[in-house]
Amino acid sequence: MLTIGEFSRLSHLSVRTLRRYHDAALLEPAAVDPASGYRYYSVDQIPTAQVIQRLRELDVPLSDVQRILRSPDPDVRAALVSEHLQRLESELDRTRSAVATLRRLLQPAPPPIAVELRAVAATTVAAVEGDVDHGELLAWYAGAMAELTAATTEPTGAPGGLYDNELFEDGHGHALVHVPMRVPPRSGRVHPVTLPAVELAVATHAGAHDDIDVTYGELGAWVVANELAVAGPVRETYLVGPRDTPDPEEWRTEIGWPVFRLGPR
Amino acid sequence: MLTIGEFSRLSHLSVRTLRRYHDAALLEPAAVDPASGYRYYSVDQIPTAQVIQRLRELDVPLSDVQRILRSPDPDVRAALVSEHLQRLESELDRTRSAVATLRRLLQPAPPPIAVELRAVAATTVAAVEGDVDHGELLAWYAGAMAELTAATTEPTGAPGGLYDNELFEDGHGHALVHVPMRVPPRSGRVHPVTLPAVELAVATHAGAHDDIDVTYGELGAWVVANELAVAGPVRETYLVGPRDTPDPEEWRTEIGWPVFRLGPR
DNA sequence: TCTCCACCCTCCCCCGGGGGGAGGGTCCAC
DNA sequence: GTGGACCCTCCCCCCGGGGGAGGGTGGAGA
């Protein structure tokens, strides 16, 4: 039996951290003296301590570490771990995209953007919609768009999406992806929707979506500079996307912000 | 002039976060109504807001974001940013190593480890030592070992290191790297040291140091199982290292834990 | 057997970068 | 002029740790 200090030396976990893990029911000491409260550990617990340490280095939350440790089946364990590795992978994507945006933002003279004001009539579309968290938006988009394209034939235009401003302001909100069709089907999550007519300020984003927020910002600046105000969910139209060409440089996304003229003029 | 809500929609930063950035003097509103406290932003501030957002996605601390934004020279900016990218790179290394360790830890039946008890006589060495934070240990090691190898000729044995247990328990402590020599030189940080004689429990770790803590743990378990207790800084000896062969599989590191027998026997 | 000191305990506060929500003031369009 | 959307500040919570206070314990040497 080892005292907490000895166990700390052997496991390379700090005493404080070991106590925290005890409180979190992550790594219970093999024995606790009921009189003094002293924690005593067994050498068998060293590997467990090290597993915890490594998972923490991967930023696995303590609650998930607990789930991993509790599952006796090594296959389940491996699945949980690789799930987290996948999460890390997507983090890496996020990092890559942030770097790309920074490059564009920090370049000295960003080329001016072309913005067009366009009246859009009401449109009938096949749509998949839902309330989503901002973090899950990309994953949700992938699933929704896959279901949508599988269910649609003879689209009358490029696919698009509507995204509530709350998604970005509060981190969660309504999202809708759609494909315009004359007679939209109804199957699974896919159902017909009529998008209302709006006045749109439209800019076109070129390339991958890594730095699409920069275009958003420039469009927003234009909207404000032209004495307009935004109203309603932003509309994206995927003119050229990954389904058309694998080269991200060729992708084209229209960003349309519903606007109205400020004040009576 | 935009209210905070409008600016939030345009910049995709939450209202709360904008207020926090104001408090942190990161993104000051273009104007603040002294009567009502209302914040008013200018469209020119959208790019700044987006830079902050991206840097935060890279986990750059707000204080560093401030330093980056405050530096007018774009070269300095770029340098600060790439410094953080380098930090991310090393994080990635840490992740890779954690994955490697997990693989070794989660494999069903780890092969038993060979441990040897060895009396080591006092040794004269050329050494570089210092008090280091655990996080900086690897960087410190690289610098110290480089200085050391540059200053030594005719070593009488493999290089090694002594690492205080406090390094792992408290996150900072004393570290020493050395090369055994008959007549150690004195230049820069390099100076002669006589390592005291100790009784060592020695295990050999094979491969890169990614999962060296696993070997530490197994050695510790052996020490405890054999009724010994650890005393003093752990000693590593780099029998085969990156200076000998580029293949990490071939590397061999001796881990020696100073021990003494428990109780009078 | 006693004493001393290293060790252990719990408890509270702090960090950073956000979110939730309460309670109350302000702006503006109808 | 009034309602409701918007804005303000303030406090508490989250996570996973660290610092430190204040006090109890265990075992080695005297």
Q: Is residue B106 part of a domain?
A: no
Residues at the strand D interface (Cβ < 7 Å): A 14, 16-17, 20, 33, 35-36, 38, 56, 61-63; B 3-6, 15, 19, 36-39, 170-171, 263
B177 vs chain A: nearest CA distance in angstroms? 20
Residue pLDDT, tens place only, B1-24: 899 999 999 899 999 999 999 999
B127 & B245 share domain: yes
Closest nucleotide to A15 by C1' from CA: C8
A185 vs chain B: nearest CA distance in angstroms? 34
- Which residue of chain B has the CA closest to A59? B95
Output the pLDDT for position A204: 95
Of A10-14, A260-264, B193-197, B243-247, which gets the smallest average pLDDT? A260-264
**Total domains present in chain A:** 2
Output the pLDDT for position A159: 95
Q: Which residues contact B124 (CB under 8 A, 6 or more apart)?
A: B180, B181, B182, B184, B192, B193, B194, B195
- Which residue of chain B has the CA closest to A78? B106
pLDDT at A263 over 80: no
Q: Do A81 and B106 touch (CB under 8 A)?
A: yes
Q: Do A99 and B78 touch (CB under 8 A)?
A: no
Å between A64 CA and D16 C1'? Answer: 14
A36 & A132 share domain: no
- Contact positions of strand C to protein Cβ (< 7 A): 7-10, 16-20, 25-27, 29
Q: Tell whether B16 is within 8 A of chain A (Cβ).
A: no
B62 & B157 share domain: no
Q: Is residue B107 part of a domain?
A: no
Q: Do B9 and A225 touch (CB under 8 A)?
A: no
The domain boundary residue, chosen from A70, A102, A128: A70
What's the rounded Cα separation, in Å, for the pair A166 and B12?
A: 9
Output the pLDDT for position B220: 87
B147 & B42 share domain: no
A57 & A139 share domain: no
DSSP string computed for A78-116? HHHHHHHHHHHHHHHHHHHHHHHHHHHHHSSSPPPPPEE
Residue pLDDT, tens place only, B121-179: 999 999 999 988 888 888 899 999 999 999 988 899 999 999 988 888 888 889 999 99
B154 & B61 share domain: no
Give the CATH number, domain containing residue A244.
3.20.80.10
Q: Is residue B132 part of a domain?
A: yes
Q: Is residue A14 part of a domain?
A: yes
pLDDT at B188 over 50: yes
Residue pLDDT, tens place only, B230-264: 777 899 999 999 989 999 999 999 999 988 776 43
Å between A214 CA and C2 C1'? Answer: 76
What's the rounded Cα separation, in Å, for the pair B165 and B216?
A: 12
Closest nucleotide to A18 by C1' from CA: D17
**What share of chain A in percent tops pLDDT 70?**
97
Mean pLDDT to the nearest integer, B183-197: 93
What's the rounded Cα separation, in Å, for the pair B198 and B19?
A: 60
B127 & B25 share domain: no
* Full residue range of the structural domain in which residue A25 is found: 2-70
Higher-confidence position of B102 and A17: A17
Of A65-69, A194-198, B133-137, which gets the smallest average pLDDT? B133-137
Residue pLDDT, tens place only, A73-123: 878 888 888 888 888 888 888 888 888 888 888 777 667 789 999 999 999
Residue pLDDT, tens place only, A31-59: 999 999 999 999 999 989 999 999 998 88
Q: Are A11 and B105 in contact (CB under 8 A)?
A: no
Output the pLDDT for position A86: 85
pLDDT at A154 over 90: no
B132 & B204 share domain: yes
Q: Is residue A102 part of a domain?
A: no
B123 & B226 share domain: yes
**Contact residues on chain B for A220, CB-CB shorter than 8 A:** 9-11, 43, 46
End-to-end, the C-alpha distance of chain B in Å comes to 84
Output the pLDDT for position B227: 76
B136 & B228 share domain: yes
A2-3 and A160-163 strand pairing = unpaired
Closest nucleotide to A37 by C1' from CA: C9
Put simply, the chain A residues between 162 and 221 with a CB less than 8 A from any chain B CB are 165, 168-171, 213-214, 216-218, 220-221
Give the CATH number, domain containing residue B44.
1.10.1660.10
Compute the Cα dihedral for A13, A19, A25, A31 and give only its sign.
positive
Q: Are A158 and A238 in contact (CB under 8 A)?
A: yes
The domain boundary residue, chosen from A70, A96, A128: A70
Å between B60 CA and D14 C1'? Answer: 20
pLDDT at B102 over 90: no
A204 & A123 share domain: yes
For the beta carbon of residue A233, count every other beta carbon within 10 angstroms: 21
Output the pLDDT for position B262: 60
The domain boundary residue, chosen from B33, B50, B70: B70
User: Is residue B65 very low, low, confident or very high in pLDDT (cuts 50, 70, 90)?
Assistant: very high
Put simply, the chain A residues between 108 and 167 with a CB less than 8 A from any chain B CB are 108, 110, 165
Output the pLDDT for position A229: 78
B167 & B236 share domain: yes
End-to-end, the C-alpha distance of chain A in Å comes to 83
pLDDT at A265 over 50: no
Q: Is residue A213 part of a domain?
A: yes
Q: Is residue B82 part of a domain?
A: no
Mean pLDDT of chain B: 89
pLDDT at A18 over 50: yes
B179 vs chain A: nearest CA distance in angstroms? 26
pLDDT at B71 over 50: yes
User: Is residue A230 very low, low, confident or very high in pLDDT (cuts 50, 70, 90)?
Assistant: confident
Q: Is residue A45 part of a domain?
A: yes
